[in-house]
Structure 1
Amino acid sequence: MKKMFNYYSDKYLASWIIKFLDLIVVFVGFVLASLLRFNFEVAGMSLSKLLEQSLITCAVYLVIFSLSKTSDLVMRHTSFTDIHGIFKAVVFSLAILIGMDVFLYEGMDYTGVFLIPKSILIIQALLVMLGISGYRLAAKSIYATFLNSSSALKSNVLIVGADVSSLMTKSTLLNSSKHSIRVIGHVDNHPKLQGKKLDGSPVFQLDNVINSSFLKEKGIDEIIISDATLGPAQKRAVIDSALQYNIKVREVPPHEKWVNGELTENQIKPVRIEDLLGRSEIKLDSINIQNELQGKTVLVTGGAGSIGSEIVRQALFFKPKKVIALDQGETPCYELGNTLKKLPEDIAAKCEIVIADITHFRRMQQIFSKYKPDLVFHAAAYKHVPLMENNASEAVETNVFGTKNIADLALRYKVQKFVMVSTDKAINPTNVMGASKRVAEIYVQALNSQQNSTHYIVTRFGNVLGSNGSVIPLFQKQIEKGGPITITHKDITRYFMTISEACNLVLEAGSIGNGGEIFVFDMGESVKILDLAKKMIQLSGLQEGKDIDIEFVGLRPGEKLYEELLAVEENTLSTHHPKIMRAQIQPVVSDEVKVLMDRLHEKVLHGDDEGVVGGLKQLVPEYISKNSVYSRLDKKSSQAYA
């Protein structure tokens, strides 16, 4: 039997056979409807008339079924969409037959064989609908039964969710030929569903599942998260509970992402590490942001990067006059253009991509003169710590003097607001990258204190999930290659935030800022990178030490164990947004900043990396190099590099 099933599992019924079976149902349905109509009194019925009328209905149904292509399907995978298509075809056939009745009887006073009682037609339609749907679903069920019985090994699956989407998920899993599964039950916290059964499977309470040894007792092999309303905290709890017992976790995409309203098993993907780090969705003051952006020209530097491109995308939905995405990278700009094509045409048309380098002052001046931006979001910067440690002059040229170019032009062309995207590495910096960003902050603050026409605002946040060069894509590539996963230190921690969340807060901070502020974002709890790596290994279905190893390679140049959100001398003030704080900072002496910046620029022009770092240390006294060739400079007087 098993061999026969395996042989026929790759065979499919031809469309003409399915069509023939449908016509048998139509014929039998008419006969049964006639018998019901006449209370099974066969003696009073004309068999020849019965045959002729049944053939008439078969002809109508055949035409409609052919036009609607109800037989062009794989019966073992019959879906709700297929049943809905059958229903529409049956209703349309019934409408035509009743229409013929009305036309012949009332219009032509006809009483011959083509006149069929409406009650028979209605009963027949009901029987046809039940019959065709029934035999197709029965075939599907029989196939699923044989599929499961043909494999000795079955995976015990628990579905998180007890709604229509969850039922469709169950159907998709049971009908897949890839795996043999047993659905142990559904999980939901709705009190009215407790103790009930959903499509034959019991419904368990979510809290009981994640707070007990339930998963182990039931022998769960896999959890499928199908509930789109499940909050981030609940999702993390489910995933964490599953990882305790090395249970695989996959997630069903939102219904709008299903292909033609149908879910396939290929769409059910493993959960991502981001799901364990993400937080509750941010509630934006959309009205305030729209008032800030509507009808205005917005310039986004670094507009094709991870942060910049998301700012561009989000800004486009707040009805700006135009968004200028400025970036020096040809390939990222090309990719941004392709991404924008997926947006509604009227929205995408408001974005213009410009390739330019922020360190080229004349080119920037041309752009400001041409577009005359009202708002500037400055996200262009070098951010890779070890690379910048080895290329100090280039880091400062872009991060400091590129920022200076944009900030100066914002003032000259009367930009309303200049919002700088900074980093938590600017706080008590231990590397060139962080120090260069802190100097950029200082210059922007100094510029704000000198005038009142342009409002300069700084935003600080930590690592962004999924951004170019971040740790998660790196770990993922290492896992795909079989390891090892490389970590600099067992105790290293970092703050994480999603790209969308970071850009939401940048836009919000820009709308509430009045100039001179440094806004610090609530980054939540810091994450131990070692724990992050271990969870990524588990989510990949692997075991640390058995399938893949973790290696500690030592801190990189300029890297520190812990990032900070505030300097020692800084405190925070709350804002109207719970995730945005305002840092209380020491006032900046503008004249002193200008002198030191001029000296620093001379060092940059000469490519004097050591002199550049010495200049940074003058501007940022708290800058103490770590794991760096520049650590020796901290033992000397910074005056030596003046």
Structure 2
Amino acid sequence: MGGDAESETAGQIAGPGSFRNMLKLITALSRAQRGYIFLAIDLALIPAALLFTFAVQALPQPALESLRQSLAILPYLLLIAAGLSKGLGLPNIQLKAYERHAIGLTALYVLGLTLTLAGLTWVAGPRLLPGTYVIFGIVYFLVVVATRMVLLQVVTAIYRRAQPRRRVLIYGAGTTGTQLAQALSAHDSIDPIAFVDDNVSLQGMLLAGLPVHPPSRIARLVRDRQINRVLLAMPSLSQPKQAQIARRLQKMGLEVQVLPSFAQLIGEEALIDKLTPLAPQSFLGRKAADTDLGGASGSYTDRVVLVSGAGGSIGSELCRQIVNCRPTRLVLYELSEFALYTVHQELEQITEGMEVELVPVLGSVTDPRQVRKVLADFGVQVVLHAAAYKHVPLVEANPLPGLANNVFGTRTLAREAAAVGVERFILISSDKAVRPTNVMGASKRLAELVVQDLATRHSGTIFTMVRFGNVLGSSGSVVPLFQEQVSRGGPVTVTDPRVKRYFMTIREAVQLVLKAGAIAEGGEVFVLDMGKLVPILHLARQVIESAGYSVRDAANPEGDIEIEIIGLRPGEKLEEELTLSPDLIGTRYQKIFCAREDRLSEIEVAGVLRGLRQALAAGDEAAARAVICRWVEGYAPDNAGVLRS
């Protein structure tokens, strides 16, 4: 097999230049020139057909002598033949279009030519036997048709030899794969080389002229047969399994293409295209609290509201719901240009016809001059501070930027808000701020302490904070991650089978934040009722099964998608908490509570900020962690507190 491949490859490489020259010559011909060539060939075949007719008949004189006697009428026959051919349009029919209709026209042309021959011989001689005309017509018809077929094969061969050919392997030797091989056998630029199939009963067989190999021979086939593309012809196989095979082949440096299913080919795939993954809130495991803001909306109506981090998941939902409260002006403060553009475009459509002014501001909350100017110039009355670095592993790997943004960004925005007389300042916090094991959670706790400190020193501004857990569907959250992993064919990764988290939908979390901000009197730590802790392993199973697949594990080795346990990431806890103290005070809203928690004094907060500022200036991560260890209650870095939780 290897020798055949080498000789075949050598033959393909030996003369591509000559074939390319012939192809250039063919393509350089105009349609009229090609028509004249076809006409000349058809006319040249007339004396040849006559000679053959005379040769197969039992005539008293030789065939050449009979042809010589017919030379007197031959010019007239050729002239009439040319007129008939042009009249029927035979020279203008392309070789690849020479099929049933063209053959019918050829038969009509030959019939007319045969009658012409009979008429000419009757008028000018020589007289021929009646059977001569029948034999001539049949012979000439077959020769013309056969010539067209031969020309088609020759031109096709030139095209195929002159153009680079892609050698492909077909994965799947079932009905779809064999039909694909048959269709590609006449393709101009694709050579199907062999099949690969997991079915042992098919391995070693010859299907559609191609051998069937086991998958274990792919690497050898690729090397020996110079294959550079694999066509995956198993549309009935589940999407995850197709993705797994494709990834394995791509690691071998192969280009992989998937054959569409029959439903896609006949158009039924339009229905499938409309099917989307389940919305994240479907995995909540409880009924979402989706209530109207009611009287709480009055705190934002006819006000100038600023939302920091307006392009994020929480920030953009805050903007949507605030717009419904009809503020006079909504300032969208965002660091990411793309995120700001996206949310601004969306809100412009929502506010069309409403008397709400949208002000997009590109900037960082750590820039005091810009923050002061924005707050003063636009007369901001309410600030909702959602801007933060929130991804635990990223902040753990980049602690200094995380502390700078989450702590000093909060301090800058809050301090400038107090300076210009903002009415309300609401910090969006996290359950990871409670006895954190990571820098992100510690930075959010320090941000809370900064806001609590400002609440005691600035009576003109109501400072408060709202703490809640994971939000389903937010950027980087677990459900979209699981759904993306499922779409790639898995595996779905879970850090630890014991991990549990609180979950809320974005909509209900934002509604409760706005309600909490409306009832705040200053310095409160509001905690939202998040329901029961949800096991992440159970959530992973739900996402896989909701997509129509099965979990592959020891109990179901033939399942579609595997759940892989990858171990806790740096700073990750098994379970999160919502409060430092079990003492919670109810509010007028059923799902909002106020936590009794200790706070730092003004001098202690100043010491925290001074220590962090020095660590940031020196680029000293160890010093920054030391400040966190000293001032953040329960902080236990490097997963020391994992088992305790």
The answer as to whether partners of 1:300 and 1:308 remain within 8 angstroms in 2 is: yes
The answer as to whether partners of 1:429 and 1:624 remain within 8 angstroms in 2 is: yes
Residue among 542, 549, 555 paired with 1:542: 549
In the TM superposition, residue 447 of structure 1 has moved relative to its aligned partner by 0.8
The answer as to whether partners of 1:316 and 1:347 remain within 8 angstroms in 2 is: no
Letter in 2 for 1:547: D
| CA deviations over 1:259-302 (Å, ceiling 9, x no partner) | xxxx9886565644521316435364634223211111001000
The answer as to whether partners of 1:317 and 1:347 remain within 8 angstroms in 2 is: no
Aligned equivalent of 2:398? 391
The answer as to whether partners of 2:524 and 2:595 remain within 8 angstroms in 1 is: yes
Q: 1:25-174, aligned counterparts within 5 Å?
A: none
- Please, which moves more after superposition, 582-591 or 340-349? 340-349
Pair 1:276-2:288 in alignment: no
| CA deviations over 1:122-176 (Å, ceiling 9, x no partner) | xxxxxxxxxxxxxxxxxxxxxxxxxxxxxxxxxxxxxxxxxxxxxxxxxxxxxxx
* Structure 2 spans left out of the alignment, 5+ residues: 1-269, 553-558
Aligned equivalent of 2:506? 499
Aligned equivalent of 1:152? none
Aligned equivalent of 1:595? 607
Q: Secondary structure at the match of 2:561?
A: coil
Tell me how large the CA RMSD over aligned residues is: 2.1
Q: 1:205-604, aligned counterparts within 5 Å?
A: 269=276, 271-277=278-284, 279-282=286-289, 284=291, 286-347=293-354, 349-545=356-552, 546-567=559-580, 569-604=581-616
Q: Secondary structure at the match of 1:346?
A: coil
Distance 1:341 1:454, change over 3 A: closer
CA–CA separation in structure 2 for the residues paired with 1:613 and 1:277: 35
The answer as to whether partners of 1:463 and 1:470 remain within 8 angstroms in 2 is: yes
Distance 1:611 1:482, change over 3 A: same
Q: Secondary structure at the match of 2:623?
A: helix
| CA deviations over 1:344-365 (Å, ceiling 9, x no partner) | 4033852221110111111111
CA–CA separation in structure 1 for the residues paired with 2:400 and 2:276: 44
The answer as to whether partners of 2:500 and 2:536 remain within 8 angstroms in 1 is: yes
CA–CA separation in structure 2 for the residues paired with 1:269 and 1:396: 38
CA–CA separation in structure 2 for the residues paired with 1:348 and 1:424: 37
In the TM superposition, residue 507 of structure 1 has moved relative to its aligned partner by 0.4
- Size of the alignment, in residue pairs? 367
The answer as to whether partners of 2:528 and 2:592 remain within 8 angstroms in 1 is: yes
CA–CA separation in structure 2 for the residues paired with 1:445 and 1:421: 13
| CA deviations over 1:538-569 (Å, ceiling 9, x no partner) | 111111111111111110010010001111x3
The answer as to whether partners of 1:272 and 1:539 remain within 8 angstroms in 2 is: no
- Please, which moves more after superposition, 333-342 or 427-436? 333-342
Distance 1:281 1:549, change over 3 A: closer
Greater Rg over alpha carbons, structure = 2
CA–CA separation in structure 2 for the residues paired with 1:411 and 1:273: 38
| CA deviations over 1:100-138 (Å, ceiling 9, x no partner) | xxxxxxxxxxxxxxxxxxxxxxxxxxxxxxxxxxxxxxx
Q: Secondary structure at the match of 1:342?
A: helix
Letter in 1 for 2:611: R
In the TM superposition, residue 371 of structure 1 has moved relative to its aligned partner by 1.1
Letter in 2 for 1:397: A
The percent of aligned pairs where both chains have the same amino acid is 39
TM-score, scaled relative to structure 1: 0.55
Q: Secondary structure at the match of 1:458?
A: strand
Aligned equivalent of 1:609? 621
CA–CA separation in structure 1 for the residues paired with 2:352 and 2:507: 22
CA–CA separation in structure 2 for the residues paired with 1:623 and 1:547: 41
| CA deviations over 1:329-383 (Å, ceiling 9, x no partner) | 0111111123224314033852221110111111111111211210000000000
Residue among 632, 635, 644 paired with 1:623: 635
Aligned equivalent of 2:57? none
CA–CA separation in structure 1 for the residues paired with 2:638 and 2:522: 33
The answer as to whether partners of 2:348 and 2:358 remain within 8 angstroms in 1 is: no
Q: Secondary structure at the match of 2:350?
A: coil
Q: Secondary structure at the match of 1:516?
A: coil
| CA deviations over 1:504-525 (Å, ceiling 9, x no partner) | 0110000011111000000011
Letter in 1 for 2:407: V
CA–CA separation in structure 1 for the residues paired with 2:523 and 2:293: 23
Distance 1:403 1:492, change over 3 A: same
Letter in 1 for 2:607: V
In the TM superposition, residue 458 of structure 1 has moved relative to its aligned partner by 0.6
CA–CA separation in structure 2 for the residues paired with 1:400 and 1:522: 26
Distance 1:547 1:436, change over 3 A: same
- Please, which moves more after superposition, 383-392 or 339-348? 339-348
CA–CA separation in structure 1 for the residues paired with 2:442 and 2:372: 27
Distance 1:344 1:378, change over 3 A: closer
In the TM superposition, residue 621 of structure 1 has moved relative to its aligned partner by 3.5
